[in-house]
């Protein structure tokens, strides 16, 4: 392990794992409690449209994915709450729209998209320093917003209707929470890819929820679990020459199953 740290790509990968764990621990907690897993999947897949747009415009695909993911999140929330379309219908529409636009944009972009596969399925070993800075900034935004609106997010996560009755602007906070999910998706794309983001966003919180129901403790434990298991998956992918994103997800799933069996056997 010490020898691996002499390589810049390994150090970047470990830093990426730590930065990702912050997003998956904090936002993933609300995703699991509020049962927004399907919404998260819709936002993550729609983000591919932003990646394709980045290739078309010749800019960093991660930068292009930020506004695209935010618009998708706001679109899902607005359509389901305002136009009275079923939430799963809104998710399905924007999910497929984003993926379709991404494919079209990539086809229209000049030349060949060399690292497109890494955005689809993740490649933590190829995360550049510029993306680490972007991930750090997005983590800072996520943490800051959650600190300021923690009580309100906690209220709408457990009972959105009652929160509205007592004067909490539940609809606006719901849209803000969806935007945090969108930013978390962008943070995780380079690690596990748009296809597998939903696993990293939900499994650490799902594992941790078996041991605590206190939200603050759940966030902390989820962040630690996410960091440890992501690094374990990274090491296994390096040792056995496996796809890093898929290996990380498999480690998370196996840990969840082991934890679930352990709790049920007591």
**How deeply is 193 buried, as exposed, middle or buried, from its count of CB atoms within 10 A (0-12, 13-18, 19+)?**
buried
The structure tokens listed for 152 are 């309100």
For the cut 70, the answer to whether the pLDDT of residue 2 exceeds it is: no
Nearest partner of 251 among 230, 225, 220, judged by Cα: 230
* 8 compared with 169, residue with greater pLDDT: 169
Mean of the pLDDT values across residues 70-99?
81
Q: Which pLDDT tens digit goes with each residue over 195-219?
A: 788 888 899 999 999 888 889 999 9
pLDDT, residue 105, reads 92
- Identify the CATH number of the domain in which residue 30 sits: 1.10.3470.10
For the cut 80, the answer to whether the pLDDT of residue 233 exceeds it is: yes
User: Which pLDDT band holds residue 128 (cuts at 50, 70, 90)?
Assistant: confident
Q: Which pLDDT tens digit goes with each residue over 145-185?
A: 999 999 999 888 887 776 777 778 888 898 999 999 999 99
Q: Of 77-81, 130-134, 202-206, which gets the smallest average pLDDT?
A: 77-81
CB 18 within 8 A of CB 183: no
For residue 177, the enclosing domain spans: 4-265
- Dist. CA 107–CA 65, nearest whole Å: 17
- Dist. CA 143–CA 176, nearest whole Å: 13
The tally of domains found in the chain comes to 1
CB 49 within 8 A of CB 96: no
What are the φ and ψ backbone dihedral angles of 73, each rounded to 5 degrees?
-60, -45
For the cut 70, the answer to whether the pLDDT of residue 55 exceeds it is: yes
Q: Which pLDDT tens digit goes with each residue over 252-265?
A: 999 999 998 888 87
- Dist. CA 100–CA 153, nearest whole Å: 33
Mean of the pLDDT values across residues 54-61?
89
User: Which pLDDT band holds residue 8 (cuts at 50, 70, 90)?
Assistant: confident
Cα→Cα distances 111→93, 103, 161, 193, Å: 30, 14, 51, 22
CB 122 within 8 A of CB 193: yes
User: Which pLDDT band holds residue 49 (cuts at 50, 70, 90)?
Assistant: very high
Mean of the pLDDT values across residues 92-100?
88
Q: How far is CA 261 from the centre of its chain?
A: 26
Nearest partner of 205 among 184, 191, 190, judged by Cα: 184
For the cut 70, the answer to whether the pLDDT of residue 28 exceeds it is: yes
- Dist. CA 53–CA 64, nearest whole Å: 6
For the cut 70, the answer to whether the pLDDT of residue 221 exceeds it is: yes
Instruction: Return the residue matching tokens 């709450």.
Output: 81
Mean pLDDT taken over the chain: 86
Nearest partner of 26 among 145, 152, 164, judged by Cα: 145
Cα→Cα distances 103→117, 120, 223, 256, Å: 12, 12, 33, 33
Contacts of 219 (CB under 8 A, 6+ apart): 25, 26, 29
Mean of the pLDDT values across residues 227-240?
89
Q: Which of 8-12, 21-25, 125-129 ranks highest by mean pLDDT?
A: 21-25
For the cut 60, the answer to whether the pLDDT of residue 1 exceeds it is: no
Mean of the pLDDT values across residues 186-197?
84
- Dist. CA 118–CA 192, nearest whole Å: 8
């Amino acid at each position: 392990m010490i020898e691996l740290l002499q390589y810049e790509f390994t150090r970047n990968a470990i830093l990426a794992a730590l930065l990702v764990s912050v997003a998956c621990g904090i936002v993933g907690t609300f995703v699991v409690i509020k049962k927004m897993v399907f919404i998260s999947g819709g936002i993550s897949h729609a983000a591919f449209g932003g990646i394709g747009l980045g290739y078309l415009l010749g800019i960093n695909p991660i930068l292009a994915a930020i506004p695209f993911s935010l618009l998708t999140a706001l679109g899902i929330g607005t359509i389901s709450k305002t136009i009275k379309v079923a939430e799963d219908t809104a998710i399905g529409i924007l999910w497929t729209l984003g993926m379709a636009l991404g494919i079209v944009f990539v086809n229209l972009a000049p030349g060949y998209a060399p690292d497109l596969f890494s955005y689809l399925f993740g490649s933590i070993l190829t995360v550049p320093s510029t993306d680490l800075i972007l991930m750090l900034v997005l983590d800072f935004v996520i943490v800051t917003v959650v600190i300021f609106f923690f009580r309100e997010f906690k209220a709408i996560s457990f009972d959105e209707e009652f929160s509205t009755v007592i004067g909490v602007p539940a609809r606006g906070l719901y849209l803000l929470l969806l935007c945090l999910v969108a930013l978390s998706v962008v943070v995780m794309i380079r690690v596990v890819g748009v296809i597998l983001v939903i696993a990293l966003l939900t499994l650490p919180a799902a594992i941790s929820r078996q041991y605590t129901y206190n939200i603050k403790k759940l966030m902390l434990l989820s962040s630690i679990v996410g960091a440890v298991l992501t690094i374990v998956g990274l090491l296994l992918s390096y040792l056995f020459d496996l796809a890093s994103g898929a290996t990380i997800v498999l480690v998370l799933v196996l840990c969840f199953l082991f934890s679930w069996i352990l709790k049920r056997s007591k």
